[in-house]
Chain A
Amino acid sequence: MIVFEKPHALTDTVLHYCPGCTHGIVHRLVAEAIDELGIEGKTVGIAPVGCSVLAYNYFNCDMIEAAHGRAPAVATGVKRALPDNIVFAYQGDGDLASIGMCETVSTAARGENITVIFINNAIYGMTGGQMAPTSLIGQVTQTSPYGRDPKTQGYPIRVCELLATLDAPQYLERVTVNNVKNVRNAKRAIKKAFQNQIDGKGFSFIEVLSACPTNWGMTPQKALQWIDEAMIPQYPLGVFRDKEA
């Protein structure tokens, strides 16, 4: 009897992510949702620039690698050309909330019928740990070596709350994957974000508070705790928009 196996929507390629990084968990949840909804054959995913740039090697569906921050624009093009296909963008915080904020907000404002998975780990991972738009006040990074100082480096951006000011989005939820309960909840949200697209309901956006032990300078276990202690107070979990509710 098989009790646990790799989702079909994931390839056999070995992930390049660091130990304790939660990208792997979120990839799996996306793949499980794709499997359970039976949409792998008509799904097109868009990978960002950042740690998940190679996500196109990990998902079994057709994949497109976008320029930094442009995944929502690329996804818009794909969805306009293939309205019956399922299109998702998978992006990190630098990609989505800094260089690509214009594309993020505009795509949400148009209510494009796509699914966006937003990995918020409050740091630029791939380039080695620089300050992100979502880095916390006081957070030490390579480019905020004395801690993020709001006087010169501003305040972290709460993307779900920002997008919740728009009329168009169908569904906005912030989740995390730092324990089993939260992983199960994240799975529910991600699956719903895909189901919404299948049902033609419009823009669905899931923010996932994620761990980056390598660049946070923490053990994987401590990093998961830090999500509870530092990130959730700044980025409260919950549903920020659900037109169904």
Chain B
Amino acid sequence: MSETVLMKGNEAIAEAAILAGCRHYFGYPITPQTEVAAYMAKKMPKIGGTFLQAESEIAAINMVYGVASTGHPAMTSSSSPGISLKAEGISYLAGADLPALIINVQRGGPGLGGIQPSQSDYFLATRGPGHGDFHVLVFAPSSVQEMADLTGRALHLAWKYRMPAMLLADGTMGQMMEPVNLPEPSNAFGDDNPWAATGTEMKRPHNIITSLDLSPENLEKQNFERFERYKKIEESECLWEEYMMDDAEICIVACGITARVSRNAIVEARKQGIKVGMLRPITLWPFPKKALAAAADKVNAFLCVEMNMGQMKEDVELAIRCKKPVELCSRVGGMIPTPDEVLEHIRQIAEGGNKA
């Protein structure tokens, strides 16, 4: 760790991406992530990188596609409505097997929604943001430190597996300031990318970057191969954190800011003698299904704390095959659940009235 600094979450993303070796950023202004672009606008010209304010979110993601095609790491950042616009480009990136980093600092929706924090793009991110059969790696940071750490990890894994990765932060994470240990500069991307479109130098057959294949047999084969890769990722890249789960009878599942709110509620519930813990998914795709299934053998009930109408709850129910009841504590539209609200849900579950 090089130095500890006090930073806004959005700035930590930008600095971490630069430290991880990313030199190409394309974005379009939208609240609450504009600090990423502002940071890049200041920094990139001084280190020989690219900052370009694109004409639209659509153009920005396609500029990322262009850079990625050349075998260089590239990123864009936006917030929910802008991610809808990028969905086309993300699908093409996935179809062409290109690495890219997409930051989504979520705000309330649907539509223009609001500018306050939200987690309501969970489905959009985890089901594959765009048309066709595909996944993107999805990371859900819960601190400014994780904003930095997971940005670097997302870039490197996108590269390793040649697929888009999304840092899915809620607006709170983007705007809050915390001390952060910035990582050492690294560059794991390498210059030798035999697949990239860099010019043949008249030394090799031409490379073609495309998501088009008009032969259904070939296109099916590509989809099968991609999903073989996804299977390996599900086996090896799942991240989660367990908190007070050893003797827990109730398991909270929460990510991002709601995981932090839930921690406070857990501490208070424990004081009142309620055995509650938390399993916090850090990767949302791949989703920590096995860890949740294991927890289902130990606990009596689950409580999802989310800033959406229960999108992650569906994944929890699938992961545990509905073995145990899964309750929901949720606020939406930019509202954040309070520790007291979460505590009230915990108490109701503990008292056996699963009506939370």
Chain B residues, Cβ within 8 Å of A25: none
Within 8 A of A (CB), among B192-221: 197-203, 206-212
* Contact (Cβ within 8 A) B65 A81: no
In whole angstroms, how far apart are the Cα atoms of A156 and B212 in the complex?
30
In the complex, are the beta carbons of A78 and B70 less than 8 A apart? Answer: yes
Give the number of chain B interface residues (Cβ < 8 Å). 39
Interface residue from A60, A65, A70, A80 paired with B59 (Cβ < 8 Å): A70
Q: Which residues of B contact A103 (CB under 8 A)?
A: 55, 58-59, 62
Query: Given contacts A63-B197, A103-B62, A106-B59, is CB(A74)–CB(B202) below 8 Å?
Result: no
Question: With the chains together, A65 CA to B92 CA distance in Å?
Answer: 9
Determine whether the beta carbon of A76 is less than 8 Å from that of B200: no
Residues 64-108 (chain A) with a chain B CB within 8 angstroms: 64-67, 70, 73-82, 85, 102-103, 105-106
The answer to whether B67 touches A77, judged by C-beta atoms less than 8 angstroms apart, is yes
Q: Name the B residues within 8 Å of A54 (CB-CB).
A: 212
* CB < 8 Å neighbour of B67 from A40, A46, A61, A81: A81
Asked if A61 and B206 make an inter-chain contact with CB atoms under 8 angstroms apart, the answer reads: yes
- Contact present for B208 and A56 (CB under 8 Å): yes
A22 to B298: give the CA distance in the assembly, Å. 70
Q: Is the CB of B69 within 8 A of A77?
A: yes
Instruction: Check B26 for interface membership: any CB of A closer than 8 A.
Output: yes
Q: Could you tell me if B199 and A74 are in contact, using CB atoms closer than 8 angstroms?
A: no
Residues of A within 8 A of B199 (CB): 41-44, 61-62, 82, 85
Q: Given the complex, which residues of B lie within 8 Å of A46, measured CB to CB?
A: 66
Please determine whether A74 and B198 come into contact, CB atoms closer than 8 angstroms: no
- Contact-residue size bin, chain A (C-beta under 8 Å from the other chain): 35 or more
- Verify A81–B202 contact, CB threshold 8 A: no
Closest chain B residue, CB of each to CB of A76: B63
Contacting residue for A65 out of B68, B201, B208, CB 8 A: B208
Interface residues of A in 10-67 (CB under 8 A from B): 11, 40-44, 46-47, 53-54, 56-57, 59-67
Task: Decide: A80 and B208 in contact? CB cutoff 8 A.
Answer: no
B202 in contact with A41 (CB, 8 Å): yes
Per the bound structure, the CA–CA distance linking A46 and B50 in Å amounts to 20
Q: Are A77 and B66 within 8 A (Cβ)?
A: yes
Separation of A70 and B63 alpha carbons in the complex (Å): 9
Q: Which of A60, A73, A79, A82 is in CB contact (< 8 Å) with B200? A: A60
B171 on interface, CB distance cutoff 8 Å:
no
A77 touches which one: B24, B201, B202, B211 (CB < 8 A)? Answer: B24
A66: nearest residue on chain B (CB-CB)? B62
Which of A60, A85, A103: most chain B Cβ within 10 A?
Answer: A103
Q: By the criterion CB–CB under 8 Å, are B52 and A80 in contact?
A: yes
Bound form: Cα–Cα A182–B58 in Å: 37
Give Cα A46–Cα B52 distance, bound, in whole angstroms: 20
The reply to whether A44 and B92 form a contact with Cβ atoms under 8 Å apart is no
Q: Which parts of B258-311 form the interface with A (CB within 8 Å)?
A: none
- In the bound complex, how far is the Cα of B92 from the Cα of A78, in angstroms? 16
B212 in complex: contacting residue of A53, A79, A80, A82, CB < 8 Å: A53
Measured CA separation A67–B57 after assembly (Å): 14
Within the assembled complex, what's the spacing in Å between the Cα atoms of A57 and B205? 11
> Is B56's beta carbon under 8 Å from chain A?
yes
Q: How many Å from the CB of A35 to the closest CB on chain B?
A: 11
Asked if A80 meets B211 with Cβ closer than 8 Å, knowing A66-B62, A73-B59, the reply is no
Per-position contact with A for B94-122: 1 when CB-CB < 8 Å, else 0?
00100000000000000000000000000
Contact B200 A40 (CB under 8 A): yes
- Quick one: which of B56-104 are within 8 Å of A by CB? 56, 58-60, 62-70, 72, 74, 88-89, 92, 96
Give CA–CA (A63, B58) in the complex, Å: 21
Q: Tell whether A70 pairs with B212 under 8 Å between CB atoms, given A62-B197, A77-B66.
A: no
Q: How far is the CB of B92 from chain A (nearest CB, A)?
A: 5
> Bound state CA distance, A53 and B66, in angstroms?
16
| Residue from A67, A78, A81 having most chain B Cβ neighbours under 10 A | A81
CB distance from B215 to the nearest CB of A (A): 12
Q: Which residues of A contact B (CB under 8 A)?
A: 11, 40-44, 46-47, 53-54, 56-57, 59-67, 70, 73-82, 85, 102-103, 105-106
Q: What 8 pairs between A and B have smallest CB-CB spacing?
A: A77-B66, A65-B210, A106-B55, A73-B62, A77-B63, A62-B197, A42-B199, A74-B66
9 interchain pairs, CB-CB under 8 A: A63-B197, A63-B209, A65-B212, A67-B65, A74-B62, A77-B26, A81-B50, A81-B67, A85-B199
